[in-house]
Amino acid sequence: MAKTESQKVHEIYGLIGERGLYVNTNLDLFGGPTKDVTILTSGYTVQLADKETYSYASPLLFAALTSLLNYGTMLITGAPGIGKTTSAEYAGHFFSGVPLDKIIQAELLGNPNLTEEKTIAYYDTAKLIKEGVRSVIPTEFLRCPVKIWDEINRTPPDLLSVAMKLVDTGKATYQGVTLKSAVGPLFATANYSDEGTFQLTAPFLDRFDIAVMVTSPPASDLEKIRNRGDEKLGNNLENLLEIPEGLKLNNEQIKKEINALPEQTEKGIGIVYPFIDFIYANLRFSEIASDNILRATKGNAWSINQDNAPTGHFQDHTSTYTINELSIRTIRAIQRYAKAFAWFTGKDKITIKDVETILPYALWHKIQPTKAALEENAKFSNDRISFVRNLTKSIKEEYYSLLSDANVKFYYAALDILKDGKFNNQDLNIDQVNTITSNAIERLGRIDKVWALILINHLANEYNLFINKKNEASNTPYK
């Protein structure tokens, strides 16, 4: 029987490790349930996979998934010399089918002397001199389907702003000419800060769909790396780079399959996207931003943020653990990678667990923890992945406590009325709809939780839209 595309991707993933090309058994990501075992003396925890659960190393796994998406963008951070660039190069080669030589040739190395001409495009000088025509030639980097920007944080900030558009849209502008880069992934590596690096800004980091922290391979992996052979002693890697005939990927088919994956449903209602939306709503809330619920968002807390705000009413809420909110771009990336991960692990639908699994990697480089969060656990300052994982756990608990609350029925009931203004197939008058909405808001308002405010805000918006529609239908003059 012919292999499915996801089986082939799995096999390639395994092959890269078996051939000793990327060896790292820091298996930090799981395709199914696990059991935590806490070490009593030190408090550290190890995760043990349940039977039928596969475990993966996040750098290679996400490099694989990123290679399978159109214009996927991935940031790879970590100490120097532990396989950041290697994972991107091999994943790019094996999952996109681009020869490794071509990938390496097109690679950019961040440095203070990098210019637009070396990065994006340059004029065809021969043509300019001979014919006086300004013809723009895209760089190898732009033309290569697998783009690797090594040590990106050594690139000067003004060039990074040019790169921002490229990372975001796959397009770049040179001297007024917009160029479309070859479809494929973009990997950027960044060492931790030193005297030669520039600070990557929050808007720039937000452009990366996913990010991993590469950890040095454990000592037990070194034997396998030694066995691969040493290129500097004349060992040839050519045959190790060969992609077996039966494992050539149909990338278009893969994208179609990933895109078609539906979300898990309960009683016919999708349950995954509402969970993502709740995370967005929860992290977006900022009490200090405004007394108006509509403007009570972190994006509006521009003068006083969560770190320098006086103590508010909601002191222990998950929203108080982050300074910033999530962009729409991030929400779309979460959905995209959750789909890709579910597909990779052979599921026929995305589950909440898939979202939980990829979320730390989609958010850790974007979310800024507050002082309060870091005071709870100073290690979160280094290990942002654990920070997001803990945050996600708390948000999930809050989400399900909301779903279990009996008062939520008033939200559903009012929303149902606002659909068409009917109850038991009879039209309600506007006063009755107003009574229902006001009473539902009053009932939800008894719950002293941020999520109650989120639901109240939704009801108020839907009610106002309902009145707009009624007014339009009855040609009520604008006032």
The neighbour count for residue 190, using CB atoms within 10 Å, is 24
Q: Which of 257, 278, 275, 251 is nearest to 265 (CA)?
A: 275
Mask of contacts with other proteins, 33-52, x by CB under 8 A?
x--x----------------
Task: Please identify, using beta-carbon distances, which residue of 127 and 422 lies nearer to other proteins.
Answer: 422
User: Considering just the CA atoms, what is the radius of gyration of the chain in Å?
Assistant: 26
Task: Please identify, using beta-carbon distances, which residue of 151 and 354 lies nearer to other proteins.
Answer: 354
Mask of contacts with other proteins, 324-343, x by CB under 8 A?
--------------------
One-character DSSP codes across 269-325: EE-HHHHHHHHHHHHHB-TTT-SSGGG-BGGG--SS-TTTPPP-S--S-GGGGBSS-
One-character DSSP codes across 77-93: EESTTSSHHHHHHHHHH
Mask of contacts with other proteins, 450-479, x by CB under 8 A?
----xx--x---x-----------------
Determine the interface stretch with other proteins among 22-30, 135-143, 144-152, 434-442 (rule: CB under 8 A): 434-442
Mask of contacts with other proteins, 259-278, x by CB under 8 A?
-------xx-xxx--x--xx
Phi, psi of 113 (to 5 degrees): -95, 5
Task: Please identify, using beta-carbon distances, which residue of 36 and 238 lies nearer to other proteins.
Answer: 36
Rounded least distance, CB 362 to other proteins, Å: 21
Determine the interface stretch with other proteins among 134-142, 234-242, 332-340, 430-438 (rule: CB under 8 A): 430-438
Question: What is the distance between the alpha carbons of residues 78 and 68, in angstroms, rounded to a whole number?
Answer: 23
Question: What is the distance between the alpha carbons of residues 67 and 433, in angstroms, rounded to a whole number?
Answer: 51
Question: What is the distance between the alpha carbons of residues 203 and 161, in angstroms, rounded to a whole number?
Answer: 10
Question: What is the distance between the alpha carbons of residues 5 and 10, in angstroms, rounded to a whole number?
Answer: 9
Rounded least distance, CB 455 to other proteins, Å: 7
Task: Please identify, using beta-carbon distances, which residue of 141 and 411 lies nearer to other proteins.
Answer: 411
Question: What is the distance between the alpha carbons of residues 120 and 99, in angstroms, rounded to a whole number?
Answer: 21
SS3 category, 135: coil
Number of residues that bind other proteins (CB under 8 A): 49
Rounded least distance, CB 436 to other proteins, Å: 4
Q: Which of 129, 207, 192 is nearest to 161 (CA)?
A: 207
How do 34-38 and 45-49 pair as beta strands?
antiparallel
Residue with tokens 């980091």: 205
Determine the interface stretch with other proteins among 114-122, 230-238, 342-350, 437-445 (rule: CB under 8 A): 437-445
Task: Please identify, using beta-carbon distances, which residue of 63 and 272 lies nearer to other proteins.
Answer: 272
- Does position 439 bind other proteins by CB under 8 A? yes
- Does position 293 bind other proteins by CB under 8 A? no
Task: Please identify, using beta-carbon distances, which residue of 224 and 449 lies nearer to other proteins.
Answer: 449
One-character DSSP codes across 224-273: HHHHT--GGGT---GGGGPPPGGG---HHHHHHHHHHPPBPEETTEE-HH
Task: Please identify, using beta-carbon distances, which residue of 132 and 268 lies nearer to other proteins.
Answer: 268
Question: What is the distance between the alpha carbons of residues 428 and 434, in angstroms, rounded to a whole number?
Answer: 10
Rounded least distance, CB 416 to other proteins, Å: 6
Question: What is the distance between the alpha carbons of residues 258 and 348, in angstroms, rounded to a whole number?
Answer: 10
Q: CA end-to-end span of the chain, whole Å?
A: 68
Q: Which of 47, 197, 432, 471 binds other proteins (CB under 8 A)?
A: 432
Rounded least distance, CB 311 to other proteins, Å: 21
Task: Please identify, using beta-carbon distances, which residue of 240 and 415 lies nearer to other proteins.
Answer: 415
CA distances from 17 to 106, 134, 332, 478 (A): 24, 47, 31, 67
Rounded least distance, CB 72 to other proteins, Å: 28
Task: Please identify, using beta-carbon distances, which residue of 17 and 274 lies nearer to other proteins.
Answer: 274
Task: Please identify, using beta-carbon distances, which residue of 172 and 417 lies nearer to other proteins.
Answer: 417
Which residues in 390-429 contact other proteins (CB under 8 A)? 393, 396-397, 399-419, 423-424, 428
Rounded least distance, CB 347 to other proteins, Å: 16
Determine the interface stretch with other proteins among 98-106, 154-162, 312-320, 389-397 (rule: CB under 8 A): 389-397
Rounded least distance, CB 202 to other proteins, Å: 27
Question: What is the distance between the alpha carbons of residues 322 and 350, in angstroms, rounded to a whole number?
Answer: 27
Pull the structure tokens for residue 344: 């990779």
Rounded least distance, CB 29 to other proteins, Å: 16
Which residues in 229-258 contact other proteins (CB under 8 A)? none
Task: Please identify, using beta-carbon distances, which residue of 2 and 406 lies nearer to other proteins.
Answer: 406
Question: What is the distance between the alpha carbons of residues 440 and 418, in angstroms, rounded to a whole number?
Answer: 12
Task: Please identify, using beta-carbon distances, which residue of 122 and 314 lies nearer to other proteins.
Answer: 314
Q: Which chain residues interact with other proteins by CB under 8 A?
A: 33, 36, 266-267, 269-271, 274, 277-278, 281, 393, 396-397, 399-419, 423-424, 428, 432, 435-436, 439-440, 442-443, 454-455, 458, 462
